[in-house]
Structure 1
Amino acid sequence: MDVVVEPGIGWMELNEYLEPYGLFFPLDPGPGASIGGMCATRCSGSLAVRYGTMRDNVISLKVVLANGDVVKTASRARKSAAGYDLTRLMIGSEGTLGVITEVTLRLQKIPQYSVVAMCNFRSVKDAADVAIATMMSGIQVSRVELLDEVQVKAINIANGKNLPEYPTLMFEFIGTEAYAREQTQIVRKLVSEHNGSDFVFAEEPEAKNELWKARKEALWACFAMEPNLEAMISDVCVPLSHLADLISRSKKELDASPLVCTVIAHAGDGNFHTVILFDPNQEEERREAERLNHFMVHAALSLEGTCTGEHGVGTGKMKYLEEELGVEALRTMKKIKAVLDPNNIMNPGKLIPPHSYTVRVYRWEILDLYHYAQLMCNYAKCQRNKVNARVFSAEGVLPHEIE
């Protein structure tokens, strides 16, 4: 099942249209995200643990290239081995290779039944360990979200709730009624084996929506604690086996900082965010926020992770790409960019780090003022056969040339 849409439609608007047909598009990033932007950044959301990312849910694209060519990247077939995978090349390119004008999306059936559960832990490591154990057990969860105690406090302040202010895991189980309930009880046992407590679950639509609403509005809840501050948000992701280690190391660093910091994780796929609140008018606080962000990125990279799990590179994370991908991969990306967009008109300055370059330098020894004047008038042609001069060139590459 699939649907063809234009890039400006929002995912929530699309799902409202699909609901009467019993179908939905199974990615849920921020509420205002459009399908085109989701393609450009290769985003995901809390449902990625079950349905994958944008990379897994786009069948084909129609893209306008820098020279005006219109390219359809694939057919609507469920699978294909025909040529290079142009669809995946464009997804995550952040507008640097072309403009997306049409998207064919893979759809899913709306689950028959779902259960939402919540439980608390003594530490974020215990919570992360349960998330890992759940995924390793083969249980078909559709969401596994982790909130630290600071984030839970923010939710309480913002929404007038009275949730226990401890590291918290939230789960969603889908399927038939019997299957969803069975999986809930299996996870309940896992939680009790890892020092978890206060395991509660909801089956009624209103109760489930209320729980997930608190999670979706987590960022805005942070500003309820510190309404005059700005937020710096990290987006690191590591192999699931390293998640507990990374969160523990990061949490220790965050708690030692004078800034207010919260942890929000898509714990089922190793991706977690920190919301670092700081006063933009205080340079010391800005530097501290940047230090914390750098710490988490480099910690993630040391654990075979990435600087961005779902938010994209933009300009802020370009400096990490060489460490993450290597010089050869970056050189290949630059070559692709140069071929598809030789004049650098497609979202310049984003995603691809600036080219390293030098400028050709010419030194002229002028022996005759007449020839000097002639040379100045004809410098574009550099009529060296008419001018008694020597040229010395410092070889290098111009900004549009690739090393």
Structure 2
Amino acid sequence: MVMRDVVALPRNEEGIAAVLGILKQAFGERFQTGQSFREQHAHTTTYLPAQLPDGVVFVENVDDVKAVVRTCAAHKVPMIPFGTGTSLEGHVNAPAGGISIDFSRMNRVLDVNSEDLDCTVEPGVTREDLNTHLRDTGLFFPIDPGANASLGGMASTRASGTNAVRYGTMKDNVLALTVVTANGEEIRTARRARKTSAGYDLTRLFVGAEGTLGVITSITLKLQGIPAKISGGVCAFPSLKAACDAVVLTIQMGIPVARIELLDETQMRAVNAYSKLSYPEKPTLFLEFHGTEETVALQAEQFKEIAAECGSDPFQYTANAEERTQLWKARHNAYWAGRALAPELAGLSTDVCVPISRLADCVAETQADIVETGLLAPIVGHAGDGNFHVLILFDDKSAGDVARAEAFMARLNERALSMDGTCTGEHGVGQGKMTFVEEEMGPALELMRQIKRGLDPDNIFNPGKIFRLT
């Protein structure tokens, strides 16, 4: 394979055998070694081959996590944290075998501080569960990657999503973590204060580390007030460049859009077919505005003027909650809509991110590459921050098709890097992007390796992810 070079790492057979026995005795039915459990905890939503753990432990509290970490550390056996399994780059694979730590039962909201607009949750809490819990407080957690991911997983991959243009990403919304480190002790990376100058920023070190430095046991998050009014709209454009120009002008004028999503012609065709809609099959922007009734109307009017200057079709605006929900349901179903274009083919979802001024160039060149390569690959993007996704549909049983898809992937990543962008805006590195993070980070990657060796000298925390140690 060109870049998805998933490899098996050396297994510690003696240590694994010892750990399986110890954990079975300690956890009873909460420790499983059956094939179906192991397969469920190595599945991946892209075409990377599954690499199964040797056992799955369902932890229920911090003491459970400490016990697992101490046992695995004593026998030098790998551990792979598992939230909901929605990651896209092989993050939950076990290339050296080992133990999958399932956090689905650590799903408590520990504390909500309404006056301070923050909360503390266990890592197994999903974003939808948290917002259901917060509903009566008038607060919500804004990061929305689409999938109902666990908050521990979202912190580990530095996730973001459709609301990032206004509310930022996980790195902007995590105030503090507790983490069990290689010695089996729990540390706290920060307090709840909104800012600090006290030493190294350990919170940001673990946010985005993909479980390679320790095991997250709680997350303290910023919250937002539920807007008094939410409105939305959709607008088609004659070209991708025109749509991207409208995005850039909207951001430059300081219009505080909450979401501004770009779907290309192919994706709009897929959305119409899947959700039984009748939008024009042109490059299209989906938008959402948060504020008061007056401010959201003003924001919509300002965007409408910008869109018209860029040659758009009429802006379809709605303040009706049901209509807005239907609109965004269509956007959130974009992945499944894309897959439905050719259900017999495999789907490989990837993302890159570039400075917003280069978004039009990057998307246009990518579209031209798709046509030239003869691929079926719809594009959808978080246009407000320069991040876009490509869903490559291909025959994973055909060596030629695999090679063609991977060569396209390589060019996509190289294109983003040539524009001073990144090989992944929100999917993370995992196993699938290791080749390109080497190019992106250059000599700084060795500093990452030094941090990894310092905090995890035996390479037992999610090994084989982000970078190669050798």
Aligned residue in 1 for 2:360: 244
Distance 2:377 2:314 in 1: 24
Q: Which amino acid aligns with 1:336?
A: I
Contact 2:233–2:286 under 8 Å retained in 1: yes
Identity level (%)? 49
Aligned residue in 1 for 2:36: none
Distance 1:199 1:216 in 2: 20
Q: 1:11-50 maps to which residues of 2 (within 5 A)?
A: 11-50=127-166
Give the secondary-structure state (helix, strand or coil) at the position aligned to 1:324. Answer: helix
Contact 1:255–1:261 under 8 Å retained in 2: no
Distance 1:354 1:167 in 2: 42
Task: Tell me how far 1:257 sits from its aligned partner.
Answer: 2.5
Distance 1:229 1:242 in 2: 31
Distance 2:299 2:219 in 1: 35
Please give the root-mean-square deviation of Cα atoms over the aligned residues, in Å.
0.9
Aligned residue in 1 for 2:171: 55
Distance 1:254 1:147 in 2: 15
Distance 1:2 1:239 in 2: 30
Contact 2:423–2:433 under 8 Å retained in 1: yes
Flag structure 1 segments of 5+ consecutive residues without an equivalent: 356-403
Q: 1:348-359 maps to which residues of 2 (within 5 A)?
A: 348-355=463-470
Contact 1:239–1:270 under 8 Å retained in 2: yes
Task: Tell me how far 1:354 sits from its aligned partner.
Answer: 3.5
Instruction: Say whether residues 1:5 and 2:118 are aligned partners.
Output: no
Q: What's the TM-score once normalised by structure 1's chain length?
A: 0.87
Distance 2:206 2:196 in 1: 17
Aligned residue in 1 for 2:454: 339
Instruction: Say whether residues 1:311 and 2:439 are aligned partners.
Output: no
Distance 2:130 2:343 in 1: 33
Q: Deviations over 1:77-114 (max 9, x none)?
A: 11110000000000000000000001111000001101
Greater CA drift, 316-325 or 40-49: 316-325
Distance 2:120 2:401 in 1: 46
Instruction: Say whether residues 1:224 and 2:307 are aligned partners.
Output: no
Contact 1:148–1:262 under 8 Å retained in 2: yes
Give the secondary-structure state (helix, strand or coil) at the position aligned to 1:189. Answer: helix
Flag structure 2 segments of 5+ consecutive residues without an equivalent: 1-116
Give the secondary-structure state (helix, strand or coil) at the position aligned to 1:337. Answer: helix
Aligned residue in 2 for 1:82: 198
Task: Tell me how far 1:256 sits from its aligned partner.
Answer: 2.2
Give the secondary-structure state (helix, strand or coil) at the position aligned to 1:117. Answer: strand
Q: What's the TM-score once normalised by structure 2's chain length?
A: 0.74
Contact 1:97–1:337 under 8 Å retained in 2: yes
Q: 1:148-159 maps to which residues of 2 (within 5 A)?
A: 148-159=264-275
Greater CA drift, 338-347 or 23-32: 23-32
Task: Tell me how far 1:161 sits from its aligned partner.
Answer: 1.3
Contact 1:12–1:31 under 8 Å retained in 2: no
Greater CA drift, 244-253 or 85-94: 244-253
Contact 2:141–2:222 under 8 Å retained in 1: yes
Task: Tell me how far 1:353 sits from its aligned partner.
Answer: 2.3
Contact 2:438–2:467 under 8 Å retained in 1: no
Q: Deviations over 1:46-80 (max 9, x none)?
A: 00000000000000000000121211000111111
Give the secondary-structure state (helix, strand or coil) at the position aligned to 1:261. Answer: coil
Q: Which amino acid aligns with 1:337?
A: K
- Alignment counterpart, residue 288 of structure 1, candidates 397, 404, 416: 404
Give the secondary-structure state (helix, strand or coil) at the position aligned to 1:138. Answer: coil
Aligned residue in 1 for 2:56: none
Distance 1:318 1:31 in 2: 23
Distance 2:389 2:260 in 1: 14
Contact 1:229–1:277 under 8 Å retained in 2: yes
Instruction: Say whether residues 1:165 and 2:281 are aligned partners.
Output: yes
Q: Which amino acid aligns with 1:346?
A: F
Give the secondary-structure state (helix, strand or coil) at the position aligned to 1:309. Answer: coil
Q: Which amino acid aligns with 1:333?
A: M
Instruction: Say whether residues 1:183 and 2:292 are aligned partners.
Output: no
State the aligned residue count: 354
Greater CA drift, 65-74 or 300-309: 65-74
Distance 2:343 2:374 in 1: 17
Q: Deviations over 1:1-27 (max 9, x none)?
A: 111100001001100110111100010
Aligned residue in 2 for 1:323: 439
Distance 2:145 2:168 in 1: 12
Task: Tell me how far 1:158 sits from its aligned partner.
Answer: 1.0
Task: Tell me how far 1:175 sits from its aligned partner.
Answer: 0.7
Task: Tell me how far 1:341 sits from its aligned partner.
Answer: 0.3
- Alignment counterpart, residue 128 of structure 1, candidates 235, 244, 261: 244
Distance 1:197 1:312 in 2: 36
Q: 1:110-149 maps to which residues of 2 (within 5 A)?
A: 110-149=226-265
Structure with greater Cα Rg: 1
Q: Which amino acid aligns with 2:125?
A: I
Contact 1:202–1:208 under 8 Å retained in 2: yes
Contact 2:346–2:395 under 8 Å retained in 1: yes
Q: Which amino acid aligns with 1:44?
A: S
Q: Which amino acid aligns with 1:262?
A: P
